[in-house]
Chain A
Amino acid sequence: MCLAVPGRVVGVEERRDTVMAEVDFGGVRKDVCLQYLPDVGIGDYVIVHVGFAIQRLDERSALETLAEFERLGLLEEEFGDGFAAAAREAGEQP
C-alpha cells in the first residue's frame, strides 16, 4: 500500500459531484479520484496512491518509473488480488 504509482489519465467524469478519472498504469486501468488535482486533464500523468491522484508528473519520469516498477514486479503487487498476495507471502518458504 505504500506505493504511489504514476499513470496516464485516459478519461475524466463527474460522479456524485466528485471528479473521477480513469487512469492507465502500463496496461492496468483503475478508477482514480481527481478531486485533489482538479486542473488535470486527459493525457496528463499523475502520481496515484490508494486510488487518489496526489501530484502531477512529467511524461518521461512517469514512463521511466512505470518501466522500473514493472521490472521489479511491483505493479502486480499493487494492483493484483490483495488476498492472493497476502496468502502468497504467508506461504513463502523460510
Chain B
Amino acid sequence: MIHGPGCPVCVTPLEIIDKALEIAARPDVIFCSFGDMLRVPGSEKDLFRIKSEGGDVRVVYSPLDTLTLARENPDREVVFFGIGFETTAPANAMTVYQARRLGVRNFSLLVSHVLVPPAIAAIMESPSCRVQAFLGAGHVCSVMGTAEYPPLAQRYRVPIVVTGFEPLDILEGIRRAVIQLEAGCHEVENAYRRAVPAEGNPAAQAMLREVFTVTDRAWRGIGVIPRSGWRLAPAFAEFDAEERFAVQDIRTAESTVCRSGEVLQGLIKPHECAAFGRECTPRTPLGATMVSSEGACAAYHRYRRLELTHA
C-alpha cells in the first residue's frame, strides 16, 4: 500500500504557499484558509508566523463564510486560499459565483485546485512506476462521477476501484483490486455506491464548468502535470488573487532536504528520508506530508515511528 498524492494540503507546491504568505502579510488583507494550511511551511514562514507578526489570518469552516466577512469589512480585502481536489472545488466555485452575483468586489480567491485523473496518468507514465491498482477517491467521484476512469483503466491496464474512506471501505477496495489482479482484469469498479452515483453531482459539475477552466498545475514533488488543475475562467478573472495582488511572478524551488516528493510518488517510504523523525516531526515539519494529519509522513510518525526506530 502506497499513500498517493491524495491530500490536497500535501500536493500544494511551495510556490503557492509563498504567494499566500505574501498576500496574508499585507495590512489591508484578511486572509482566510482551512485550518490545515496554517502550519504548512513556505520558504521561510508559515501562516501561523504571519499571524503572530500581525497579519490578519482567519480559519473558516466554509468558503462562503468569507463572503460574509467581506461584506462586514468593506474597507478590507478578503482573500480565500482555494486549494483542494474535485471534492472541494464546487464550494470555491460557488463562492466566486456568489461574489460576482452579489457584487462583493473586495473578495478574491487564491486558486490551486488539482484534478485526480491527470495525476493517475502522470504516475502511470513515470518510468519508475510500480503501481498495480488504484483506489479511486470516493468523494471526488461523488462530485465528478466515474466516467473519467474507464479510459485510464484501459490505457494503463490497471484496476481502479472507487472506494470510501472508512476502515471497512478501504479493506473492501483492496479486496476488489486484488481479485481483479488475480483474474488479470483491469476494470473500473464502484465500491462506494452509497455515495457515488455514476453521474456524480451534475449541478456541481455545471458550476465547475462555468467558473473554472482547466490549466497546467504544479504538484509538490512531482512538478507540472499538463491540464491537471483548475483556474478561474476569464469571466471570473477579476476575482483572481494572484492578479489582484500581483504575485504571479513569485518563483520558489522545492526544499533539497525534504523528500516528500518521492514519498508522494511512492518511490520511498517516509522513514527512508534522512530527516524523518529527526529535524522533521509533526511539530517541526519540513514538508507538507508531515503537516497534514492525512499526510504519509505524519501518519508514519504517529503510528509506526516507534516500530521503525526500534526495529
* A and B are interacting partners: yes
Q: Mark B91-129, 1 if CB is under 8 A from A, else 0.
A: 100100010011000000000000000000000000000
Query: Scoring B residues 157 to 178 as 1 if CB is less than 8 Å from chain A, else 0, what string do you get?
Result: 0000000011100000000000
B294-A4 in contact (CB<8A): no
The answer to whether A52 touches B90, judged by C-beta atoms less than 8 angstroms apart, is yes
Let me know if B203 and A37 touch, CB within 8 A.
yes
Cβ of A51 < 8 Å from any Cβ of B?
yes
A36 touches B282 (CB 8 A): no
Chain B interface residue count, CB cutoff 8 Å, equals 47
Closest to A69 in B: B166
Q: A36-B201, A55-B195, A94-B282 are in contact. Are A2 and B294 (CB under 8 A)?
A: yes
User: Do B62 and A36 touch (CB < 8 A)?
Assistant: no
Contact string against A for B residues 253-270, beta-carbon threshold 8 Å, 1 for contact and 0 otherwise: 000000000000000000
| Contact between chains at B61 and A94 (CB < 8 Å) | no
Task: Name A's interface SS.
Answer: mixed
A52-B94, A54-B90, A86-B38 are known contacts. Are A37 and B195 too (CB-CB below 8 A)?
A: no
Contacts of B34 in A (CB 8 A): 1, 50, 82
Q: Is the CB of A51 within 8 A of B282?
A: no
Which residues in chain B, 51-79, are within 8 Å of chain A measured between CB atoms?
59-65
Q: Which residue of B lies closest to A38 (CB)?
A: B203
Q: How far is the CA of A52 from the CA of B166 in the complex (A)?
A: 20
A-chain residues with CB within 8 Å of residue B291 when the two chains form the complex? 89
Report which B residues bind A (CB closer than 8 A): 7-9, 34-36, 38-39, 48, 59-65, 84, 87-88, 90-91, 94, 98, 101-102, 139, 142-143, 165-167, 194-197, 201, 203-204, 207, 277, 281-284, 291, 293-294
Interface residues of A (CB under 8 A from B): 1-4, 16-18, 30-33, 35-38, 47, 49-52, 54-55, 57-58, 61, 65, 68, 77, 79, 81-83, 85-87, 89-94
